């Protein structure tokens, strides 16, 4: 039976490749993430299987799946790579130069937000510390929260909704949302006129299936919810049909408003603002890269804080 001896850089690389393949769900999906060809991935996987002495996965018409040994090796690989990152962070703490990785998760549809606190902080981090590697992961907010909590991500950007107490939150900005309809909707030509809330209550609207703060949920309570969407992009799809009204962040809707495909409805007190925060684990290990980024975020926040309630 084969057994691993002393771990070399090559074995560690093989484990990184294997874990990436698992997280991507197969060889083909992992090509872009790893930046190598499918045949090279297959060769790496074969090398790892020969070194550990057992099969790690099955692939064929039935798709990609892990063997029981593969599942166990994946978990062991997570522990190894986490330990290596912890070791590198601890060593970096001994030096003045900050180096290492910043793994940040961001929920979707935020790049068009005018308040670019995260962008500015990342730019300043890169300018000050050129040996820091920034890795951005785009995920739904619940996935970002989960990955920050389990250590896959250092920090995340999410709405401030139902956050676990084990996370610390740094306020970034408030995202304003308004009620919209699409071209072809019966209300489209009346969008600039004050609308009767009772009439709106009889108009089919989009219900969100994603977490919202209390103020936003109350705004939806006054509508006749006949369709639903799992995210803001899904809500935009439905609004653009011209059959539904629905809430969208103003910066997300701006592209369709400019193209004449969507208009905001003039309804008193219909809008709301969702606070977005940068989250990190309260019990995280010392990490100078993360600490430097949080300091820059807090600096951006202090500059923008006076306009928060404007």
Which residue segment(s) compose the domain that 66 sits in? 9-90
Q: What is the pLDDT along the chain (310 residues), one digit of tens a residue?
A: 456 667 788 889 999 999 999 999 889 888 988 899 989 999 999 999 998 888 999 887 767 889 999 999 999 999 999 998 888 887 776 666 788 899 999 987 787 777 778 889 999 999 988 889 999 999 888 999 999 999 999 999 999 998 999 999 999 989 999 999 999 998 998 877 777 777 778 899 999 998 888 889 988 888 899 999 998 899 999 999 999 999 999 999 999 999 999 999 877 667 899 999 999 999 988 888 999 999 999 886 555 554 444 3
* Structural domains counted in the chain: 3
Residue 4 belongs to some domain of the structure: no
Domain of 62: which CATH number?
1.10.10.10
- Asked whether residue 3 is domain-assigned, the answer is no
The tens digit of pLDDT for each residue in 92-104 reads 766 667 888 999 9
Kindly state whether residues 146 and 294 are assigned to the same domain: yes
Tokens of 230: 């799992």
pTM for the predicted model, two decimal places: 0.66
Does residue 151 share a domain with residue 28? no
Residue 28: C-alpha distances to residues 35, 61, 72, 172, 242 (Å)? 11, 14, 22, 37, 38
* 80 and 16 in a common domain: yes
Question: Within this chain, do residues 166 and 186 fall inside the same structural domain, yes or no?
Answer: no
The mean of the pLDDT values for the chain is 87
Provide the CATH number for the domain around residue 243.
Answer: 3.40.190.10
Residue 147 located in a structural domain? yes
The answer to whether residue 111 is domain-embedded is yes
Asked whether residue 284 is domain-assigned, the answer is yes
List, in order, residues 6 or more apart from 98 with CB less than 8 Å away. Answer: 92, 128, 129, 131, 132, 288, 289, 292
Residues 166 and 289 in one domain: yes
Are 185 and 252 found together in one domain? yes
**For the chain, first and last CA: distance in Å?**
69
Identify whether residues 76 and 113 lie together within a single domain.
no
Q: Which of 2, 42, 15, 3 is nearest to 26 (CA)?
A: 42
């Amino acid at each position: 039976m084969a057994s691993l001896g002393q771990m070399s850089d090559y074995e560690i690389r093989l484990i990184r490749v294997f874990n990436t393949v698992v997280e991507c769900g197969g060889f083909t999906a992992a090509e872009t993430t790893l930046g190598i060809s499918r045949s090279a991935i297959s060769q790496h996987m074969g090398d790892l299987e020969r070194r550990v002495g057992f099969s790690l996965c099955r692939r064929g018409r039935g798709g990609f799946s892990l063997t029981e040994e593969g599942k166990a090796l994946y978990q062991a690989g997570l522990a190894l790579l986490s330990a290596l990152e912890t070791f590198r962070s601890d060593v970096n703490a001994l030096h003045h130069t900050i180096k290492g990785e910043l793994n940040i998760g961001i929920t979707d549809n935020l790049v068009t937000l005018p308040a670019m606190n995260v962008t500015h902080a990342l730019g300043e981090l890169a300018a000050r510390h050129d040996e820091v590697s920034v890795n951005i992961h785009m995920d739904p907010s619940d996935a970002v929260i989960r990955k920050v909590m389990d250590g896959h991500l250092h920090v995340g950007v999410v709405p401030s909704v139902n956050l676990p107490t084990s996370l610390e939150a740094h306020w970034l900005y408030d995202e304003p949302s308004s009620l919209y309809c699409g071209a072809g909707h019966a209300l489209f030509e009346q969008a600039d006129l004050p609308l009767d809330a009772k009439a709106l209550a009889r108009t089919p609207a989009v219900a969100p299936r994603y977490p919202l703060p209390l103020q936003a949920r109350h705004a939806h309570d006054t509508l006749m919810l006949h369709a639903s969407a799992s995210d803001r992009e899904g809500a935009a799809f439905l609004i653009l049909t011209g059959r539904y009204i629905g809430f969208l962040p103003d910066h997300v809707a701006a592209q369709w408003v400019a193209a004449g495909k969507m208009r905001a409805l003039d309804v008193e007190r219909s809008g709301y603002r969702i606070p977005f925060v940068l989250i990190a684990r309260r019990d995280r290990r010392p990490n100078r890269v993360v600490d430097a980024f949080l300091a820059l975020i807090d600096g951006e926040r202090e500059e923008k804080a006076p306009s928060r309630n404007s």
